[in-house]
Structure 1
């Protein structure tokens, strides 16, 4: 296992280093500079708060190509009826806080530590992280956030307080930005995103697309 030096921002090349079950390295810190550098390499942090930081680049990679977005008839009706309203980068702190606090089936606690949350807030202030907000009757009911690298959006986490809110926000984002998006990185498999058209591709294919679009 490759251990990072806290005094040097560097990672092993994920194109030639497979790590262990997708884990590329461990240790280091969560400075905005290190996290931003990691994302540009196709690496992201994912670990349990209180434990050592783990850095991942899984193979295969779960992604969505904008042209392959699937919208069911029921979701299209919801979108056409304007059940929700959408905004971008207006409530980043609220979105990421909800992503941290929302309870999830099969999970005890959250992987999103306070330290990592503050790093993403800093990246947002730098213009590198963005949020999509979903509102209903003027209240925030869903949304997600992630890192934008050229024409690749690396999704981090989403939340939903009412049925279909996060799904509607995702559809809005893809359909609004698909002309300027090559790929959406979903990182690891979820049935929720698979139903919207996300699929697995080899790590090398993902890294090639990521590096072409920077």
Structure 2
């Protein structure tokens, strides 16, 4: 019998089905319905599940196989880009413009994609997670202009990336690299990047079987880590600092 997606109960604390029940076509579709309450979103991420749906759809919940991840010590910047960074004075900080980063990601055009999955409902949900200290952004500024950023959800010592944008060439790469460098310094080993594309692979993303991904995050989400804004703990970087490769 062909698998069917699971219909979620109204209770936001109702458990998700096992990701092993996800469909193969479309890859990773697991469940339909429910809401985007903080409880449900956090339960989803802890289980390796994320929402992804369009304006005219009910919430759709996914756990694809394979899963795309970055090791925080494995983000790759080309030699050419690093040379350019040596003269770059862009400023990088965290959680100073979360709503602006999310809105910029929603406006950012995606190849082969008509419209955005970061709907007004999604933006509201992640702003609420940010208010509660679970969602974070890294922002890249050229003087006072926001020209790049990334946002996602942190649980334990695991960061689940949601989206990133560039308003200037290289803005998202700088944001991702700065995020990875900071997380690595905190002892957080992974960034979830959800689904594969050539750009992510060119930056060092790895394709993992879902079973391996779930085993890894199962340990990481339960490790102690503070919630709340990252502004002070992240500090401020200058983009030229990213030109220097870290020693292994």
Coarse TM-score class (shorter-chain normalised): over 0.9
- Name whichever of 103-112 and 197-206 sits farther off: 103-112
Alignment partner of 1:68: what SS? coil
Alignment partner of 2:163: what SS? strand
1:183 aligns with 2:190: yes
Deviation at 1:69, TM superposition (A): 2.0
1:27 aligns with 2:33: yes
Counterparts of 1:53-202 in structure 2, within 5 Å, are: 53-179=59-185, 180-202=187-209
Q: Give deviations 1:127-160, integer Å, cap 9, x for gaps.
A: 1000000111220011010001222211001111
RMSD between superposed Cα atoms in Å? 1.4
Contact kept, 8 Å, 2:28 with 2:63, in 1: the verdict is: yes
- Name whichever of 171-180 and 114-123 sits farther off: 171-180
Alignment partner of 2:21: what SS? coil
CA distance in 2, matches of 1:64, 1:27: 29
1:2 aligns with 2:6: yes
Q: What is aligned with 1:49? A: 55
Alignment partner of 1:127: what SS? coil
CA distance in 2, matches of 1:104, 1:17: 29
Structure 1 residue runs without a partner (length 5+): none
CA distance in 1, matches of 2:113, 2:208: 26
TM-score by length of 2: 0.82
1:207 aligns with 2:214: yes
CA distance in 2, matches of 1:162, 1:79: 13
1:12 aligns with 2:17: yes
CA distance in 1, matches of 2:201, 2:155: 22
Contact kept, 8 Å, 1:62 with 1:200, in 2: the verdict is: yes
- Name whichever of 64-73 and 184-193 sits farther off: 64-73
Structure 2 residue runs without a partner (length 5+): 223-248
- Name whichever of 158-167 and 169-178 sits farther off: 169-178
Are residues 101 and 173 of structure 1, via their aligned partners in 2, closer, same or farther at CA, if it must alter by over 3 Å?
Answer: same
Alignment partner of 2:216: what SS? helix
Structure label with greater radius of gyration: 2
Contact kept, 8 Å, 1:64 with 1:199, in 2: the verdict is: yes
Contact kept, 8 Å, 1:146 with 1:153, in 2: the verdict is: yes
Contact kept, 8 Å, 1:25 with 1:56, in 2: the verdict is: yes
Alignment partner of 2:73: what SS? helix
Deviation at 1:19, TM superposition (A): 3.2
Contact kept, 8 Å, 2:135 with 2:152, in 1: the verdict is: yes
Q: Give deviations 1:155-191, integer Å, cap 9, x for gaps.
A: 0011111101111111111122213221110000122
Q: What is aligned with 2:239? A: none
CA distance in 1, matches of 2:85, 2:156: 27
